[in-house]
Structure 1
């Protein structure tokens, strides 16, 4: 049940941060496997048209609603950036009934098959990325959306990642393609004594999900796990992302990478970009 995956008091622990005047993040605690603190993060972006897009929404709290209202309140797009980050789509859809739901192929069926979870509804998706489209043309989501965004669909990734580049502010929004642990911001409002300890499993997991240092653990994870289904196709998607002009990466888990996002991207995906394979 989704109730086991979310904090019981999201409004008290949520951190709302303006990354740019048009890009806002909502960060909350989240435990992977119920044990590892990886945090969660939703992103709100104001398009040039004035419309708002919400990516990987977290809880729709009073503070989150107030932030949306401060940016005009016209929520036009609710986007699940992979097949995992969708729990709060129904909550946001109820609050903004005119918004279009967007997600990758496989997600509508997953939600329809979910029984007994009151948070997950049966809403219809306006656009299914990768179903009848190549997953690269952002105009399938909306004309105004396509003017501001480019997207890349990693159908080879186990979670079917859809990555978005918001051109006006040079920001990349993604879910699980890249973690950036530890989840410092996402646990910053949790009292020290209540913060979960990593433990052995957490330390091992985190070693593969950090961009710090040479990021060798993450390189290995991306090469041997994330891209194992079709490495050639995965590499093509990475290469297209490398042509994007961005300096910030907003991940769902761990710290937002502000200023040096492109350099970090090139580091962690070096094996895919160079075409040389794993060296170690």
Structure 2
């Protein structure tokens, strides 16, 4: 049984094992893969690399682009860079400082690199004290790809005191949400609203979060609700 979940138009997602984060909170993990026009693979927020996953990916094409979309999602970057030495490492601002064992070849900007500009748009959410995140929009499938900016932990994921904290922080709930701590950490509200406006102009059909389910129904409405607090 494959672990690759098709999202349409040469885009896949893969659910990984949970990892331990700050404060002892466990986080579910998810990455995305896309096949670019030249046949190479684009890997977003790499999860733990296993032999089975490596074998599955090999059937799709050669891995040529590794993407670290914020400086909190670099834990497995060095493993992937070692396994795929021909791959170019693209990273959000700040990743190079937190992952000194990996050479960052390209620091991401609001303008997508030419190699994937025909498939992806990207929006940078900066001015946040926790992390700078690059959000990607896969145009052929209408998929908006988030990392930590939008979250929806599975029901019952946390227990006891951590469940209470997660609920108060808006990490868990019936709908995707920007965690409360991330909202508070934005220092440049004008830049924040400009980035949100760019997302709202996109023809979003589905949403992928590193820490949450894939949203395939009413995705545009879910996006609007998630950022209503910033108006």
Shorter-chain TM-score range: 0.7 to 0.9
Shift, 1:197, TM fit: 4.8
Preserved CA contact (<8 Å) 1:180 1:253: yes
Q: Residue 124 in 1 paired to residue 103 in 2?
A: yes
Secondary structure of the corresponding residue to residue 200 of structure 1? helix
* Alpha-carbon distance in structure 2 between the residues aligned to 1:104 and 1:126: 11
TM-score if structure 2 supplies the norm length?
0.88
The Cα offsets for residues 156-214 of structure 1, whole Å up to 9 and x where unpaired, read as: 23211011001011111121110011178xxxxxxxxxxx752122233144124526x
Aligned length: 227
Question: Which structure has more helix as a fraction of its residues?
Answer: 1
* Alpha-carbon distance in structure 1 between the residues aligned to 2:89 and 2:55: 21
* Alpha-carbon distance in structure 2 between the residues aligned to 1:219 and 1:160: 14
- Structure 2: tracts of 5 or more residues without a match: none
Of the two structures, which has the highest relative contact order with CA contacts closer than 8 Å and spacing of 6 or more?
1
Q: Residue 212 in 1 paired to residue 191 in 2?
A: no
Q: Name which of 54, 72, 78 aligns with 1:65.
A: 54
Preserved CA contact (<8 Å) 1:180 1:256: no
| Corresponding residue for residue 152 of structure 1 | 123
Structure with higher Rg: it is 1
Task: Describe the shift of the 1:219–1:138 C-alpha distance in structure 2 as closer, same or farther (beyond 3 A).
Answer: closer
Q: Residue 253 in 1 paired to residue 205 in 2?
A: no
* Alpha-carbon distance in structure 2 between the residues aligned to 1:222 and 1:29: 21
| Corresponding residue for residue 268 of structure 1 | 226
When the two chains are superposed, the root-mean-square deviation of aligned CA atoms in Å is: 2.4
Task: Describe the shift of the 1:20–1:220 C-alpha distance in structure 2 as closer, same or farther (beyond 3 A).
Answer: closer
- Structure 1: tracts of 5 or more residues without a match: 1-13, 113-120, 130-134, 185-195, 276-280
Shift, 1:110, TM fit: 2.0
Question: Which structure has more strand as a fraction of its residues?
Answer: 2
TM-score if structure 1 supplies the norm length?
0.74
